[in-house]
Amino acid sequence: MVVALTEKFRGIYGRAPEILARAPGRIEFIGNHTDYNGGTVLGASIDRAVWVALAPRADGRRRFSSDRLGEIVEQAAASPRKLPGRRGWINYPLGVLAALPQFGLRTPAGFDYLAMSDLPAGAGLSSSAAVELASGLAFLKAAGENPPREVLVQAARRAENDFVGVPCGILDQGVSGFGRKGHLVHIDCRGPRFFTVPLPAGAHFWIFNTQKKHALIDGLYAERHRECMEAARLLGVALLADLTPEDLQRVERLVPQPLALDGGVPAGKILLMRARHVIEEIARVEAAVTALRAGDLPAVGRLLTASHRSSQTLFENSTPELDFLVDTLTAAPHVYGARLTGGGFGGAVMALTDAAFDRTQAEAVASASAEKFGAPPEIMHALTANGAELI
């Protein structure tokens, strides 16, 4: 990819890049929507990534291009503005440029910029965070800055929250920033604090991308965020992570059941469903850490599948395609467990398997899905990889 990135940059801008950076995509291993609720989460940085090439300019012009855009887009340094439609990916590096000064960091005045990726967009593998991290490293190098990794991760999250407009937690940026080959990243999102947990030998990830792209900014993610904040207020805490499953059981009977929503489900019950998913999911994360340290992959797999069932029934961020893949995979040999990965509402399913699960079996699962839904999911066998870095 480095050679292809360099040659494409030269072809677009007529000169070689001076700075190269890469940041991996990530698998949300377990911890669905727990991050912005102050909980814990486990993720894995994977061997698919976004690469950024950059060369500073003396004239203050900022020019952007990507392998998927096929054109140069110029933005004035003094007044960056969000772009709609197919150019909207530029909002992620622009958001980083807007966020870095808030942490006391300089940014380059002008540059030529190119991003390339082998991450499928919209699959729940956090291509957006990978763009933010790789861009941030390149911008900081060009400006002569070298902050702690925690600062870069926080700036990237702020870019997505404040400039792009997605109220995500720290999961995506934290895993892409702190990934380590052969390990999972364990994040206490309240800190945030970042740890690594060894992944037992013989564990494999298979990703099944439904190619139904989720669009988190379109509102469903924001709606779940709002529901979680309202549930916390209703339950008398700042964040849902302040409650245990036992706490929730004690207060459930006291929660009012006000106006019924469409379909006749009371609004209070919906908020309790969201709360139960988050609170029990945090407990599943901690149980998964314990099982991983013990090398008990079957126990980990059961927790993954339980996580999906909770997303399916309580958080309601799954889809029929995702549910079918999980049902099919968990019935297959050599699969420990499976769940949706990422924000949901489309995207991908992750299966945790042993080494005997192979592409033939994966293609059989994809064929069964295609027979039911008309389009086969994209298959990816993923390995863990190191986090964001300058090349």
Question: Active-site positions?
Answer: 172
Please check whether residue 37 is in contact with residue 228, taking contact to mean a CB–CB distance below 8 angstroms.
yes
373 sits in the region (left: phi over 0; alpha: psi -120 to 50; else beta) called: alpha
Task: Tell me which DSSP letter residue 344 carries.
Answer: -
Cβ neighbours for 24, distance < 8 A, ≥ 6 positions apart: 45, 46, 47, 48, 49, 130, 176, 179, 385, 386, 387, 388
Whether the bond between 192 and the residue before it is cis, its omega within 30 degrees of 0, is yes
C-alpha–C-alpha distance, residues 207 and 171, integer Å: 18
**Among residues 175, 141, 143, which one has the least CA distance to residue 156?**
175
In one-letter notation, the amino acid at residue 360 is T
Task: Output the six-digit token pair for 114.
Answer: 């190119």
The per-type count for the chain, helices as H runs and strands as E runs, is: 11, 12
Please check whether residue 345 is in contact with residue 121, taking contact to mean a CB–CB distance below 8 angstroms.
no
C-alpha–C-alpha distance, residues 256 and 236, integer Å: 14
Angle value at C-alpha 375, between 351 and 315, nearest 5 degrees: 50
Q: What is the H or E stretch that residue 90 is in?
A: none
Residue with tokens 């008309």: 374
C-alpha–C-alpha distance, residues 353 and 119, integer Å: 21
C-alpha–C-alpha distance, residues 284 and 297, integer Å: 14
Cβ neighbours for 51, distance < 8 A, ≥ 6 positions apart: 1, 2, 5, 20, 21, 22, 115, 116, 117, 134, 391
